Chain A
Amino acid sequence: MKRRAFLEYSSLASTSFLVPSFLNHPIGIKTEKSRSGRNLVIIQLNGGNDGLNTIVPYRNDIYYRERPRLAIPQNEVLPMNDSLGFNLALRSLRPIFDRGEMAVLHDVGYPNPDRSHFRSMDIWHTASDADQYLTEGWLGRYLDNQCIGCDMPYHALEIDESLSLSLKGKQHNGFAMQDPEKLAKSTSNRFLRALGEHHSPKHNHESVSYLYKTMIDTQQSAQYLSAQAKKGKNSIAYPSTNFGKDLALIARLILSDTDTRIYYASLTGFDTHANQKAIQNRLLQQYAEAISAFVNDLRQNHLLDDTLIFTFSEFGRRVAQNGSNGTDHGAANNAFLLGGNLKKNGFVNGGPALDALDNGDLSYRIDFRSIYATILDQWLQTDANAILGQSFERIPVL
């Protein structure tokens, strides 16, 4: 059905004949196309969110000792159990947490943590070891190896002007789009459209074929995606922030039954070395209000059970505050899973292990690749080990 919808907007009957020969032999195992209809939404908090002031260990002496001016006072915390509470900026997530639609994982990280934003983000994007350099992202490798029904270029869609490493594979890439209208405009050149329609790949070098294929995919996807975005209607008002608009767009695409299974969005500015409180609270509020609207929108449309939202940041921050009312780059951090289909919810592995610090940093208790492995296995129903190249313990949340 959706395939037909796609073809309505595409000027070509099929793009498969354009695939250069080297793309016709995907590595890995392909099984039957499964239409689980499940959506994965990944939210990246850029800059290193301070997890300790997000989910506050409001009864912990070490927390208050290390942050004499930055710790959130007990009376300004929204208590969620007898040791952990939300930063008040997250208050709009409370009803969702109380319904069992949110799981908080503490002390997520990896061995030999890197303190560079870029390097650490690369490690998260590629699911590599800290001393390993990979050029493909974990979701890119999913598209390359295991993904069934991924012939659509927008199977994995990032709401941004450019594509993150996460979504870059060897043969397949995700698709980047900030705004469907702008995308449509960038592909409106009539000459290039005509060129795409008349292109015959026969005698081309494979790199040239790859360029043509990407161009044609983009032209066709642009029309399809902008039509889908118009078709979907949000049933809830979203905050008018950029991040709110991004999530409203993702919701519209999900509501119009778009053939995209993985969505990727990000919120930037968490690198709070100075005067952290005001900056972080504003960002957390933007995050919570948009996520809350998104979750409520999907629940109202009975799509929350088919949706999993994963939020992470490249690292947490040091436990001790610094001299300018901020925090410097740290190591392990918390991460969130939200959705209507969680096997476990709440504080799945307790709170942050502040009594077992490594040189002033939280040590990881959950390797982030365990979360990836769990998502790949349990949610995307694929062979996680083949994609991650190693086996990681699964977390019983999905």
Chain B
Amino acid sequence: MLTIWVVKDYLTRLNASYNDTSNNHSMFTGLNLHRMQRLHHLYNRFGFGLSPEEWMNFHSQSLDHHIYRLFAQAKKGQALETTKIDLTNILNRMNPEFKASLLKEKRIELALINIQWIGRMVHKNEPALLERMCLFWHGHFACRIKDHKLARSYLNTIREHGLGQFGTLVKAIAREPSMIRYLNNQQNRKQSPNENFARELLELFTIGKGAYTEKDVAEAARAFTGWTSTSDGKFYFRSAWHDHGQKSFMGQIGNWNGDDIIDIILSQSQTAHFIGQKIYQYFVDAKGNPEHEAELAQVLLASRYDIEKTMLHLAQRDWFYDKSIMYKRIKSPVDLIVGLFKTLDIQSHESFIIIYLQKLLGQTLFNPPNVAGWPGDIQWIDNATLMSRLNLAQILMLGSPLPDRAKDDLSVSKRKRSPTKLKATVNLKPLIELGKASSPEESIKVLSEYLLPGVSIPQSLLFRYHKGETPQETVLISALRLMSMPDYQMC
């Protein structure tokens, strides 16, 4: 019932400006559809999917053209600009109460970066591949960041090197104040080494468990002593805290510093295997495939860890477009949110919807569960997150109340149970345009090619309750129902 009410309400508002009911037919047949699906798959995994307009317009160019487009666009990525107001000075001389309220402002700034980033994932003119790489590296070099300046610096670093040399990226990450603080390198001194960063560098960021000894961890920690950050968020090498002595790391002896350690790690072929595997399991299939992972590792080794070359190699593999791979991955919350923003062409929204949805679905940017990143795959799904996911398209259209979720907000002493209203203004013209057809059945066929490729649609169930009285109603009801199917959670 809800669905119909939403649809009717929406169309009443829309009708004044939109009255075209001319018929349309499925534009893809046979071979074409298959080609379009490969393209869609490329954009799902190397970007964030296609809007209805892109789906309708992209078919005239070849897959190779689009691969080229994605990589060319990625070179044009801009750094996130700094905010105009500098709060540091003000914060330093004020009474504690006032400070507390302004610290809240700081949280607002962090939220603004989050929203800005999601905006870039959604927007068609932004470099989708670069945003995807940033999200991937954010999960790989997982770091919880509360300070907005540090968050911006971290994000700009992974933007700058996300498709560059992996070694350069690791060395830059090791200098990021947010990472230095998160993994206690701030406390890593010659007199009392702290191994936290060195251990995760080996275990999670580069070579993986089992390829190093405890002695290697201790020696690497010594090499990173004195790598600290200043209070205003800059990397600072404190020579007096650094252990300048000889270290024996992975069988090599020298007066190593942090960069030397990273170079030694990268000279091990196991590092290429570890990163190749990570890329495969994120971009291709969470279950892994030793042969294809080894292939990516080979490319990494041969190119001296050139990430762009590795990703390009992947985009050009036939096995990347295999039936067992396409549309077989569970969308991450960010995939789902960005995908819905593109599909429903969300025009305006209360800015905090974006943060709220991330919390609701279990993936808040700059706030991964721990240094191992988001586990992903079926771990995204429990009964609560699934029901939110299934109802999400409707919720966004309805602006319906949703449960407050304060689980990871420890500052709240009393859990609020007042519902939050989600308000988004959608533009469904592109979707209606795409779904226009000579019959309801034909409508569903065209829509499901875009929304649920490869899924057999239970036509009789779709229209069991209400078919809609006009073609437009039919299209919208169908679209909303298709987007509520569990299969829509795949990409």
Contact = CB atoms under 8 A, between A and B. Distances in A.
Interface of A: 46-47, 117-119, 122, 131, 133, 135, 153, 160-165, 168, 173-178, 182-183, 186-187, 189-192, 194-195, 198, 205, 207-208, 210-212, 214-215, 217-218, 221, 242, 268-269, 271, 274, 279, 282-283, 324
Contact of A118 (B369, B404, B462): B369
B404 A161 contact: yes
A187 B369 CA distance: 28
B193 to A, nearest CB: 14
Contacts of A47: 410
B381 interface: yes
B63 interface: no
A163 B370 contact: no
B414 A242 contact: yes
Interface in B373-426: 375, 377-379, 381-388, 390-391, 403-415, 417
B384 A163 contact: yes
B113 interface: no
23 contacts: A47-B410, A131-B199, A133-B204, A133-B371, A161-B403, A183-B387, A186-B387, A189-B391, A191-B461, A194-B461, A195-B458, A207-B330, A208-B486, A214-B383, A215-B387, A217-B383, A218-B386, A268-B410, A268-B413, A268-B415, A269-B410, A269-B414, A324-B96
Given A47-B410, A133-B204, A215-B386, 6 more contacts: A160-B407, A162-B407, A187-B387, A190-B1, A192-B485, A268-B409
Interface size class of B (residues with CB under 8 A): 35 or more
Contacts, number: 137
A214 B484 contact: no
B458 A198 contact: yes
Q: What are the nearest 4 A-B pairs in CB distance?
A: A269-B413, A211-B486, A133-B372, A176-B384
Given A135-B379, A161-B403, A162-B405, A211 B384 contact: no
B128 to A, nearest CB: 24
Contact of A119 (B370, B404, B412): B370
A199 to B, nearest CB: 9
Contacts of B406: 268
A14 B65 CA distance: 50
Contacts of A218: 383, 386-387
A210 B405 contact: no
A196 B404 CA distance: 27
Given A175-B383, A211-B486, A268-B413, A192 B390 contact: yes
A211 B489 contact: yes
Given A191-B462, A269-B412, A212 B486 contact: yes
Contacts of A283: 413
Contacts of B485: 192, 195
A122 B383 contact: no
Nearest to A122: B370
Contacts of A178: 403, 417
Contacts of A163: 382-385
B56 interface: no
A282 B414 CA distance: 11
B410 A191 contact: no
Contact of A211 (B96, B386, B417, B458): B386
A118 B407 CA distance: 11
B481 A215 contact: no
Contacts of A190: 1, 464-465
Contacts of A174: 382
B172 interface: no
Given A118-B144, A161-B384, A189 B484 contact: yes
Nearest to B100: A274
A117 B369 CA distance: 11
B383 A191 contact: no
A214 B390 CA distance: 11
A211 B374 CA distance: 19
